Amino acid sequence: MKIIKIDKKIWSDGVEKSRDSYRLIGPVKDREFHQFRELAKGEQPDMNYKNSRLSPKSIAFPQSETMFIYDLDEKAEEHHIMQDAEKDYSPRAVIGIRPYDAKAFKILDLNFNNSDYQDPYWVNAYNCTTFISLAVNSPDKFDFSTSCATGPFDDSAVDVLLVDYNDSYLAKIMTDKGLAWLNAAGFTTKNGEIDGAVTGVSEAGEDIYEIIEKLKADAESKIRSKISFDKIKEKSILDIFNAPFWEDIAFACLNCGTCTYSCPTCWCFDIQDETNGRKGIRQKNWDSCMTPLFTVHATGHNPRHNDWERTRQRFMHKLKYFQDKYNQGIMCVGCGRCVEQCPANIDIRNICNQMNNGE
């Protein structure tokens, strides 16, 4: 693994240059909050952002995605036949994504791309994306990512990890995909050799590794929120499911979709046909286990009739069922969005600890 040092003076020109071979996505401020979206020509990712309000999962799993289009007009050619919606899976780079948000893509991948099922929309969108991640030097008070097998400097799910260091970005090159983007941006030499020949780019010596390690340790030490889930795995599903604390935990919960929609790892979706006149689309929409509609049967019966049962479902899925099924930790990267945004202060950190340590 190599590290190069990119002078911030040449950063935006390089980003712009990479457009020749990539579509670019990055954090931009829209009214009060940052969001990830495709960057217009000349538009730069805001590398000083704190966190995006909604997670960047939408770049491969949008809130509404058209899968098919159809025409009900019998005069039309191929009427009543579903046609593939047009898609652009040309190479793209997401710049500035936080390491834990990139890690969330690995979790989503377990669901959308496994030996039983491959969701082509997800797989294609994920595969065409290069992750140019930005380490978090100053985690906020909601961040508990270090408890969730990731962290502010986690490089396990990224192609390049950028570390903001004074007037430069230190770029840890994790994959060939990442190197290819750096080449396209002109941050390396033309043939991909990293020899520091390009203006403003120099090969970093050994001390750079130490600098990154130090910044990483500093950042991690700022994270005060911790959760434990080791005992949840040992407990039986029914013991936690029937625990006495759920109604109390869920009392304040409004059963809105704030947590599920802001969450980088919530993957549930619903398929809907929408017709306008004689033309229609079949789309995939985010769904939320907080809503009664999520489980209501065609008979009208709802196995999760009560509000508190739906709140319980969300935490059981993230912290218990997921652990049991995949044996890869919990379905949470500790980004803290749900904690920050919940109108009723439903705090997954407390609930996780209660499930772990409670009766």
Partner 1 sequence: MTMNINQSDINKKQIDIINQQYTEKIRESAKKVLLEKKVDVVIGFKNGTEPMTTEPCLINKASDADKLIWNEHCRLNLANYVKGRKDKAAVVAKGCDSRNLVNHIIEHQIKRENLYIIGVPCNGMVDKSLNLKELKVEAESDTMQENLDLFPINRDMLQDNCKTCIKRNPVIFDEMIAEPVKEREWTKEEKLKESFESVNKIEAMAESDRWSFFNDMLSSCTRCYACRNACPLCYCPTCFVDESRPQWVGKGTDLIDVRTYHFLRAFHCAGRCTDCGACEAACPMNIKVRLFTKKLDKECFENFGWEAGMSLDERPPLDVYKVNDNANFIR
How far apart are CB 289 and partner 1 at their closest, in Å?
Answer: 13
How far apart CA 114 and CA 348 sit, in angstroms, is: 27
Going by C-beta distance under 8 Å and a sequence separation of 6 or more, which residues neighbour residue 279? 69, 70, 71, 72, 73
**Which residues within the stretch 36-55 sit at the binding site for partner 1 (CB under 8 A)?**
53-54
Candidates 1-9, 17-25, 38-46, 255-263: pick the segment binding partner 1 (CB under 8 A). 255-263
How far apart are CB 234 and partner 1 at their closest, in Å?
Answer: 26
Q: Which of 29, 141, 226, 305 binds partner 1 (CB under 8 A)?
A: 141
Candidates 12-20, 94-102, 178-186, 245-253: pick the segment binding partner 1 (CB under 8 A). 245-253
Binding to partner 1 by residue 128, rule CB under 8 A? no
How far apart are CB 224 and partner 1 at their closest, in Å?
Answer: 11
Q: Which is nearer to partner 1, 15 or 348 (CB)?
A: 348
How many Cβ atoms from other residues are within 10 Å of residue 197's Cβ?
A: 12
How far apart CA 254 and CA 240 sit, in angstroms, is: 22
Binding to partner 1 by residue 222, rule CB under 8 A? no
How far apart are CB 101 and partner 1 at their closest, in Å?
Answer: 17
How far apart CA 107 and CA 87 sit, in angstroms, is: 24
- Contact (Cβ atoms closer than 8 angstroms) between residue 280 and residue 76: no
Binding to partner 1 by residue 127, rule CB under 8 A? no
Q: Which is nearer to partner 1, 72 or 237 (CB)?
A: 72
Q: What's 178-245 look like in SS3?
A: HHHHHHHCCCCCCCCCCCCCCCCEEECCHHHHHHHHHHHHHHHHCCCCCCCCHHHHHCCHHHHHCCCC
Site string for partner 1, 283-322 (x = CB under 8 A): x-x--x--xxx--x--------------------------
The token pair that represents 271 in the structure block: 């398929």
DSSP code at position 329: S
How far apart CA 265 and CA 111 sit, in angstroms, is: 10
How far apart CA 102 and CA 36 sit, in angstroms, is: 13
Q: Which of 251, 279, 328, 357 binds partner 1 (CB under 8 A)?
A: 251
Q: Which of 138, 305, 343, 357 binds partner 1 (CB under 8 A)?
A: 343
How far apart CA 13 and CA 42 sit, in angstroms, is: 9
Binding to partner 1 by residue 156, rule CB under 8 A? no
The token pair that represents 353 in the structure block: 């600890």
Q: Which is nearer to partner 1, 126 or 144 (CB)?
A: 144
Q: Which of 9, 12, 33, 73 binds partner 1 (CB under 8 A)?
A: 33
How far apart are CB 182 and partner 1 at their closest, in Å?
Answer: 33
Secondary structure of residue 51 in the 3-state scheme: coil
Binding to partner 1 by residue 63, rule CB under 8 A? yes
- Closest C-alpha among 135, 140, 102 to residue 25: 102
Q: Which is nearer to partner 1, 110 or 243 (CB)?
A: 243
Give exposure, 300-322, as e/b (b: 16+ Cβ within 10 Å). eeeebeebbbbbbbbbbbbbbeb
Q: Which is nearer to partner 1, 82 or 198 (CB)?
A: 82
Q: Which of 91, 196, 200, 257 binds partner 1 (CB under 8 A)?
A: 257
DSSP code at position 295: T
Number of residues that bind partner 1 (CB under 8 A): 40
Binding to partner 1 by residue 205, rule CB under 8 A? no
Binding to partner 1 by residue 268, rule CB under 8 A? no
Burial class of 238 by CB neighbour count within 10 A (0 to 12, 13 to 18, 19+): exposed
- Specify the length of the chain in residues: 359
Residues that bind partner 1 (CB under 8 A): 30-33, 53-54, 63-64, 141-142, 248, 251-252, 254-258, 260-262, 270, 272, 274, 283, 285, 288, 291-293, 296, 339, 341, 343-347, 349-350
